[in-house]
Amino acid sequence: MRADRLVAVLLLMQLRGRVTAAEVAAELEVSVATARRDLEALSAAGIPVYPQAGRGGGWALLGGARTDLSGLKASEARALFLLLGPAAAIAPEAKAALRKLVRALPATFRQDAEAAADAVVIDPARWGEHRRPRPVLVDLLEDAVVRRRKTRLTYSGRERVISPLGLVDKDDTWYLIAATPDGRRTFRVDRITDAHVTDDPADRPADFDLATAWDEVVTAMEARRATTTATATIEARYLRVLQDRFGRHCEVLGHGERVRVALTAPTALDIARHLAGWGDLVHVEGPQAVRDELAKLAAQLTKLYGPQADANEIA
């Protein structure tokens, strides 16, 4: 689009100060005539861009002016590049885009931005784990979201046409949020067996916000999972480990010599299975159903690995 080219031309002049039509043409991969028309259009629009004749001439911003098209403050530029830096370490396209953005920034911001881009590396895999590769279908669905095109999916053996609204990567599992004739739905990408992007425009609500929609999905899912609650105590030094295992399903109720917590899961057995490996580090106060499940697990382990089990093996 011409508007994009005009912005690119102005950014190029901001960086170099003076350019020729040939230099603009080479940089933007257009003809020299097109580059000259773009420069003339900037001048006609009132931007202080003027031609300079003679040897060493070209087009320049009047008085060496600098136009900050980004409108970014120094702190905003640093924040932006801190966010983009880790992505650039993974995706070649992001790295190329980052280099172009750096060149577009005012000189006073450029050094901090370059430093911020290399300041952080994000390793999403836990110790001892490998990050799963990005599913092939994610690229296709991402394209459908960006271009706002309806998509025909085969999901759980059923074919349907949806309007893709956004994608979410949660702990290496990808989800697609989409508008359907039956309302908004969430699809696990690894359960989609086939997808085809159509040419029909997608139905996207004007007020749709992906982060808000995903928070609603998570809240509903967690509410369905948290149907059983147990109270327990644990030494304070182990609390963070327990919180890591239970996540939002571990609520601190009170502090003391031992920390009192509420643990939630779909069933009493689920809670017991999570706590069985903790031994006497965690004391479950109730309900009795969870204590009973822990006792059953202990009996099973004793039968399998206790002294009597060794005697039976010898016999």
CB 24 within 8 A of CB 60: no
pLDDT band at residue 5 using 50, 70 and 90 as cut-offs: low
Q: At what angle do helices 107-117 and 74-88 cross, to 10 degrees?
A: 40
> Is 235 within 8 Å of 258 (Cβ atoms)?
yes
Residue that wins the pLDDT comparison between 80 and 174: 174
pLDDT recorded at residue 226 = 74
Question: Closest Cα to residue 119, out of 80, 95, 85?
Answer: 85
Cα distances from 41 to residues 46, 61, 96, in angstroms, run 9, 14, 28
Name the architecture of domain 226-305. 2-Layer Sandwich (3.30)
Do 82 and 119 meet the contact criterion of CB atoms below 8 Å apart?
yes
* Pairing outcome for strands 192-201 and 228-235: unpaired
User: If you average pLDDT over residues 35-49, what whole number do you get?
Assistant: 77
Residue 66, pLDDT > 70, answer no
Q: What is the pLDDT of residue 119?
A: 65
b/e for 92-113, b at 16 or more Cβ within 10 A? eeeeeebeebbebbbeebeebb
Q: Yes or no: is domain 2-64 CATH 1.10.10.10?
A: yes
Give the model confidence (pLDDT) of 85-142 as tens digits: 666 655 666 666 666 666 666 666 666 666 666 666 666 666 766 667 778 888 899 8
**Stronger pLDDT, 75 or 243, i.e. the higher one:** 243
Give, to the nearest 10 degrees, the angle between helix 21-28 and helix 32-44.
110
How far is CA 192 from its chain centroid?
20
* Sign of torsion over alpha carbons 42, 45, 49, 55: positive
Per-domain boundaries in the chain: 2-64, 74-117, 136-210, 226-305
Q: Is the dihedral of CA 32, 36, 37, 41 positive or negative?
A: positive
Given this model, what pLDDT does residue 281 score? 92
- Confidence class for position 23, pLDDT limits 50, 70, 90: confident
Domain 136-210 class, CATH top level: mainly beta
Per-residue pLDDT band at 187 (split at 50, 70, 90): very high
